[in-house]
Chain A
């Protein structure tokens, strides 16, 4: 039962990109089309589940002082695997995601889950946690991608949705539209759940253990 909770918390209550505000770069960059959002989300989910699995298995063997580099190498290994696979089986998607496929390595969701969950918990909960967080991330990418694709081109997943007489607003495909859509979605989610979204900053940052401005309690500009 408690295992189920590890899985469902990532979907909505602790949704990584819309509630915890982690992994903003891919959330903004690849969501010009719902399809790219889906591909990016699934690739990230795969890396997240695999890295959580391996890190959880190795949690007794990784020395505490060098854990961050160890985590990064494990994550980078799986990212390389995913990008080789996508290159050969889905070259179009790989082309569309571009550099952001390699940048999954430095996605703070994955490092954050490794640091906060996988290195302290058993294997099964870690896998479920990774799966839940990954699917939550995928869902939010699809939502942002669908809104931007619908407003920007009148389509969702390539299917014509908008009637002809409504002119598509190209601005939603541009970077400016990405910031705007994400801001509105976070605001709407805050109104619906009647909870203020988390502040961007130190609380959720995976590097905070290494960060002097947090440890010294002087990280005013980040936490304010």
Chain B
């Protein structure tokens, strides 16, 4: 029971109160760049979720069974970024060969993900927070779902903005950032919800 509760806390914290985009500021570039249409936002969100879970699953054993026994923990940044790059490349090749429809919808976003700070961020956070393997997977899952959720919500906001007349000085990027600010405010409302449900 304790384990389930623990995982639920990680899941809800990651999705709502410690949202990757709006609270932790990981992956702002895709958040602002690919959120013009709902389909693009959903595709990017799904691709990021998948790569985050995969990267967490691969980096955990490598950190604990290779880097720690060799006392080379300080190499984790170099090591993780290489693992992520290789993982993304592999996923791209496998999808291209065996699942062409999925490749056509998600494939275009994959090369962008290597330099997405959400992926490197979640792997380092898992190590810093001392999560075990299952907790790491859940924290990646929560981060990914939170990322997807905010991307889709925000793409709706942007489609609405594109039909409004905006003051000339604010056109383009500034109004997008201010809209993001208001979206972020709405997530502040979730503060304390995790403690409320699971009793801290």
Check: B82 CB closer than 8 A to any chain A CB: yes
CA distance A107 to B111 in the complex (A): 15
Check: A58 CB closer than 8 A to any chain B CB: no
Chain A contacts with B in 180-220, Cβ cutoff 8 A = 180, 182-184, 186-188, 190-191, 196-197, 199-202, 205-207, 210-213
Given contacts A77-B78, A175-B23, A106 and B115 within 8 Å (CB-CB) = yes
Query: How far, in Å, is B95 (CB) from chain A's closest CB?
Result: 13
Interface size on A, residues (CB 8 A): 56
Check: B170 CB closer than 8 A to any chain A CB: yes
Q: What is the interface of chain A mostly: helix, strand, loop, or mixed?
A: helix
CA distance A99 to B85 in the complex (A): 19
Check: A57 CB closer than 8 A to any chain B CB: no
Check: B66 CB closer than 8 A to any chain A CB: no
Given contacts A187-B169, A199-B172, A207-B111, A102 and B184 within 8 Å (CB-CB) = no
Q: Verify A222–B177 contact, CB threshold 8 A.
A: no
Among the stretches B4-12, B26-34, B54-62, B141-149, the one at the interface with A is: B26-34
CA distance A122 to B135 in the complex (A): 48
Check: B3 CB closer than 8 A to any chain A CB: no
CA distance A197 to B28 in the complex (A): 17
Chain B contacts with A in 102-130, Cβ cutoff 8 A = 107-109, 111-112, 114-117, 120-121, 124-125, 128
Chain B contacts with A in 69-108, Cβ cutoff 8 A = 74-78, 81-82, 85, 107-108
Q: What is the interface of chain B mostly: helix, strand, loop, or mixed?
A: helix
Query: How far, in Å, is B29 (CB) from chain A's closest CB?
Result: 6
Check: A8 CB closer than 8 A to any chain B CB: no
Render A9-27 as a binary contact track against B, CB cut-off 8 A, 1 for contact: 0000000000001001110
Query: How far, in Å, is B151 (CB) from chain A's closest CB?
Result: 12
CA distance A184 to B85 in the complex (A): 35
Centre residue among B76, B77, B182 by max chain A CB count within 10 A: B77
Centre residue among B23, B33, B170, B178 by max chain A CB count within 10 A: B33
Q: Verify B125–A175 contact, CB threshold 8 A.
A: no
CA distance A79 to B170 in the complex (A): 36
Interface on B for A, CB 8 Å cutoff?
Answer: 22-29, 32-34, 36-37, 40, 74-78, 81-82, 85, 107-109, 111-112, 114-117, 120-121, 124-125, 128, 169-178, 180-182, 184-185, 188
Q: List 7 A-B contacts (CB under 8 A).
A: A29-B24, A69-B85, A72-B85, A79-B77, A107-B117, A182-B177, A207-B111
Interface on A for B, CB 8 Å cutoff?
Answer: 21, 24-26, 28-29, 68-69, 72-73, 76-77, 79-80, 83-84, 99, 102-103, 105-108, 111, 171, 174-180, 182-184, 186-188, 190-191, 196-197, 199-202, 205-207, 210-213, 221-222, 224
19 more A-B contacts (CB under 8 A) besides A68-B85, A80-B75, A171-B185? A24-B28, A25-B117, A68-B114, A72-B82, A73-B78, A84-B74, A99-B121, A103-B117, A103-B121, A107-B117, A175-B22, A179-B178, A182-B177, A186-B173, A197-B172, A199-B172, A202-B33, A212-B111, A222-B34
